[in-house]
């Protein structure tokens, strides 16, 4: 028997296979708060609980796991993130009552204005504060997945300017520091933070200003090479 004959006769359903899904942890910054995109489950199992948007891989529809994530996000939330990155793979016999299951988790940080109108048009979908989500009884092992995603985001906030991608295109330095602090959960030293940002040359001064508490503050935007820049050492708390 050659390989072509073997493949033609191979029947994958003769072997046990786990359930395979994807889940997406999308973060945003809104109303001075770090938030997570959540959906309320409308069917069993875990009916009525808040959960991450996600679902089963479709062999017929999906060309990749990333394609599954985008398809499920569009179906369940109408939110299409500008990027998505793989976080971690979770699996085991007890995470889903339907059977031994594996989920590949993805994560992204997006600006609220990119998706506010989409969320308003979908029922049982909401941006919930991260602190609130941590106190809820979520479906499956989604709290563990969210915490793992938050840990990665915190590390990025300490060594890069990635949190700026949760802000509007033009923003002030105080706004940039505030989003870093919202993600990290601790205050940063103001002088040290600004010095680190200025030395890295990651921002472009737009020449415009906006009043903040009576004082005009300069508006900046990200430079082209800012996304991949890493600080020599973490920001100082």
Q: pLDDT truncated to tens, each residue of the chain (237 aa)?
A: 889 888 788 887 877 889 999 999 999 999 999 999 999 998 899 999 999 999 999 999 999 999 999 999 999 998 999 899 999 999 999 999 999 999 999 999 999 987 765 666 566 999 999 999 999 999 999 999 999 999 999 999 999 999 999 999 999 999 999 999 999 999 999 998 998 888 888 899 999 988 767 778 899 999 888 878 888 788 877
Full-model pTM? 0.91
Number of C-beta neighbours around residue 33 at 10 A = 14
Number of C-beta neighbours around residue 126 at 10 A = 15
In angstroms, how far is CA 99 from the centroid of its own chain?
Answer: 27
Interacting residues of 201 by C-beta distance below 8 A, sequence separation 6+: 223
CA angle 197, 87, 39 (to 5 degrees): 100
Number of C-beta neighbours around residue 36 at 10 A = 23
- Beta-bridged to residue 33, according to DSSP, are 30
Coil/strand/helix, residue 216: strand
* Rounded-to-integer distance, Cα 57 and Cα 132, Å: 29
Coil/strand/helix, residue 59: coil
């Amino acid at each position: 028997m050659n390989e072509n004959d073997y493949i033609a006769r191979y029947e994958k359903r003769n072997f046990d296979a786990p359930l395979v899904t994807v889940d997406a942890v999308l973060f945003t910054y809104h109303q001075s708060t770090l938030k997570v995109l959540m959906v309320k489950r409308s069917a069993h199992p875990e009916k009525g609980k808040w959960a991450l948007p996600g679902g089963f891989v479709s062999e017929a529809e999906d060309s990749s796991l990333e394609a599954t994530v985008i398809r499920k996000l569009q179906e369940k939330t109408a939110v299409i993130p500008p990027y998505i990155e793989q976080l971690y793979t979770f699996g085991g016999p007890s995470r889903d009552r339907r059977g031994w299951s594996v989920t590949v988790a993805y994560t992204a940080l997006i600006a609220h204005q990119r998706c506010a109108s989409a969320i308003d048009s979908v029922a049982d979908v909401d941006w919930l504060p991260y602190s609130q989500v941590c106190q809820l009884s979520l479906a499956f092992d989604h709290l563990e997945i969210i915490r793992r995603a938050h840990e990665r985001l915190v590390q990025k906030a300490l060594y890069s300017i990635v949190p700026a991608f949760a802000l509007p295109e033009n923003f002030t330095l105080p706004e940039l520091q505030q989003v870093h602090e919202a993600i990290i959960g601790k205050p940063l030293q103001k002088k040290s933070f600004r010095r680190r940002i200025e030395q890295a040359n990651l921002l472009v001064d737009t020449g415009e200003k906006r009043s903040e508490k009576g004082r005009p503050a300069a508006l900046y935007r990200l430079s082209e090479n800012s996304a991949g820049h890493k600080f020599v050492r973490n920001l100082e708390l």
